[in-house]
Structure 1
Amino acid sequence: MKRSRTVEWEDASATAKAAGTMAGLDFLREIVAGRLAPAPLGSLMGFALEEVEDGRAVFGFEPAEEHYNPIGSVHGGVYATLLDSAAGCAVHSTLPRGMAYTSLDLSTRFLRPITADTGKVRAIGTVMSRGRRTALAEAGLYDSSDRLLGHATSTCMLFPTD
């Protein structure tokens, strides 16, 4: 039986323009509040930024069949995307106006399988260290019982947007 999914998203250019005019925490809070559109990738994959504070970001995700690999569990690339997003946004939340970041690396560990039966999961990113040019963050992926499903560390390069 064929299945399908329709994905809708808002124009990402307005959000991208706003990113350069605001401190990172203010920018991410505008996304959480719905005053700025989230990244189209979240609509495609079905996850959203739900909480943000200085040095911390939390994404929510409902796993479903469209996230499966051929053996019937959520694909590792979905884990990695959630963990990268949480770690990266945690770093972004610490940046002043006029600064941006990009991920330099992502080291992941997949600890437990995720299926549609797992229910909602959270990716929680925190900044471990931030300097002038790089930041180190970690992220954990948790089920509703707070069991760790996956973990990642990420190094991000910081740079001026001018």
Structure 2
Amino acid sequence: MGRTRTYEWEDPSISAAAVGRASGLDLLRGMVAGRLPAPPITATLDFTLDEVDEGRAVFSMTPGEEHYNPIGSVHGGVYATLLDSAAGCAVQSTLPPGMGYTSLDLNVKFLKRITADTGRVWAIGTIVSRGRQTALAEAQLVDADDRLLAHATSSCMLFPVPASAT
């Protein structure tokens, strides 16, 4: 018998419109507080932005079999999505109003297998360096025992986003 999973998300244009008006930190804090909707990918994979501070962002999720690849463990794309989100939001948390970013690359090292038995995992992103046009961030994926499951680095391009663009 097949399994099903349903989920809902809110209009992503609401948060996107705030990028031109709010600092990155204010935008992300608005999501943590529920004043702004989280991006739909968080509902798709069932993960949350738990905390954010300048230069740091923490996401978490409890992996389930809906995240599995054909060999019975969490798909590497799920790892990558968590790490990309944490690293990218660490960069975003440093941006002033009217600035946006996009990932230029993501280099992931998968260190340990994750299954539904692993329990909750956290992706902790931190800024390494930020210039006017690019930023470098890293993220670690850890379990409840603080074991390193995966590591990533990400280069991001920074660009102006006018308030009227969204």
Q: CA deviation at 1:18?
A: 1.3
Aligned to 2:35, the other structure's residue is in SS state: coil
Matches within 5 A, 1:71-150: 71-150=71-150
Q: CA deviation at 1:127?
A: 0.2
* Matched-pair contact (CA < 8 Å) for 2:86–2:139: yes
Question: Aligned AA for 1:21?
Answer: R
Question: Aligned AA for 2:93?
Answer: S
Gaps of 5+ in 2: none
Tell me if 1:60 matches 2:64: no
- Give the root-mean-square deviation of aligned CA atoms: 0.5
- Give the Cα–Cα distance (whole angstroms) in 2 for the partners of residues 133 and 18 of structure 1: 21
* Matched-pair contact (CA < 8 Å) for 2:19–2:99: no
Identity percentage of aligned residues: 68
Q: Which runs of 4+ in 1 moved over 6 A?
A: none
- Give the Cα–Cα distance (whole angstroms) in 2 for the partners of residues 75 and 52 of structure 1: 26
| Equivalent in the alignment of 1:38 | 38
Question: Aligned AA for 1:53?
Answer: D
Aligned length: 162
- TM-score w.r.t. structure 2 length? 0.97
Aligned to 1:5, the other structure's residue is in SS state: coil
Q: CA deviation at 1:15?
A: 1.1
Gaps of 5+ in 1: none
Aligned to 2:8, the other structure's residue is in SS state: coil
- Give the Cα–Cα distance (whole angstroms) in 1 for the partners of residues 7 and 19 of structure 2: 24
